[in-house]
Amino acid sequence: MHWNDGNRDNPRIVPLTHDTAFVAFFGVEESYVVDASSRDDSLGYVSGGGWYYLNDTAIIEACPRRVNARFIRWNDGNCDNPRSVFVTQDTAFSAFFDTVDMFDVELLSSDDDLGYVTGTGRYCDSDTVVIRAYPRYFSVARFVRWSDGIYFNPRNLCVTQDTIITAIFERITDIAEAESVSGLFSLHPNPTGDDVTIVFDRRLEAPVRVTVHDAVGHGVTDVVVPKGEEKFKISLRGLPSGTYFVSLHMPDGTYMQKVVLQ
């Protein structure tokens, strides 16, 4: 508990300047039981129960046994998991578990030759799953959108029911062909250190969707340029140096040019 001079350090360092006597005082520390259990052992179990000394901190955690099992709360209404328990007396905690519905997420590609999708599986109600569409050949194919109208890729999908979503891919008109169509657009400056300006060959007669992807097909920008614009600035600030692809999505196809970010 302490030394005869009141010091409680153990071990302790003692400077030797003269003969010295130290007496260690021992005592029996109070100990208590933290009883941590599950209300339904088939759904989950609890770790962290046991004997603890007075003023110790016990960490108890409720762990589901099944994929569709979820921790709900402790018997005292607390919902923290894991939770810290300051030990001052014998205490009993019970963890309540419950089952949740399971749903299937099926992800398809509009053209397996152009791209594939990841994220298909069976998930619990309210789970969030990351789904991603991958073009097989970046120079040939481009992800356009999901069948539910969402353009983000990758995207977070909150699972609340059985869901089937298709990734729409399209073939890309190559750079040489795009440039042959009356110089459809150009990029300035190129290379660039931060921003790049798209200069169209004529004033836009309708809104045009513009996307920017990195060299492996990950989208970094997705904007709609309003009708009537002759040029449009896109910021590449904060992105790693490298080659990026700027695509114009037109009614007759997608046209692409590359820009180098230094």
Candidate ranges 21-30, 161-170, 197-206; pick with highest mean pLDDT: 161-170
pLDDT the model gives residue 16: 85
Q: In which band, very low, low, confident or very high, does the pLDDT at 179 lie, cut at 50, 70 and 90? A: very low
Q: What average pLDDT score do residues 160-169 get?
A: 94
pLDDT at 104 over 70: yes
Spell out the residues 6+ positions from residue 53 whose beta carbon is closer than 8 angstroms to its own.
29, 30, 31, 32, 87
- Residue 165 reports pLDDT greater than 70: yes
Q: What is the DSSP string of 99-158?
A: E--EEEEEEEES-TTTEEEE--EEEETT-EEEEEEEESSTTTEEEEEETTS---SSEEEE
> Does the pLDDT of residue 137 top 70, yes or no?
no
Span 125-130, average pLDDT = 92
- Asked if pLDDT for residue 208 goes beyond 90, the answer is no
- CB atoms < 10 A from the CB of 132, how many? 16
Instruction: State which of 38-42, 141-145, 220-224 shows the largest mean pLDDT.
Output: 38-42
> 118 has which bridge partners?
132
Per-residue pLDDT of 44-72, as tens digits, reads 999 999 999 999 999 999 999 998 899 99
* Dist. CA 123–CA 159, nearest whole Å: 7
Give the integer Cα–Cα distance in Å for 146 and 171.
Answer: 16
> What is the DSSP annotation of 32-67?
EEEEEEES-TTTEEEE--EEEETT-EEEEEEEESST
pLDDT (tens digit per residue) in 220-232: 888 899 988 888 9
Q: What is the pLDDT of residue 180?
A: 41
Taking residues 129-155, what's their average pLDDT?
Answer: 83
Return the amino acid letter for 245: F
In the prediction, which pLDDT does 196 show?
92
Q: Which amino acid is at 111?
A: D
Mean pLDDT for all residues in the chain:
87
**Residue found by looking up tokens 């353009």 in the block:** 151
Q: What is the pLDDT of residue 138?
A: 56
Structure tokens at 9: 């350090």
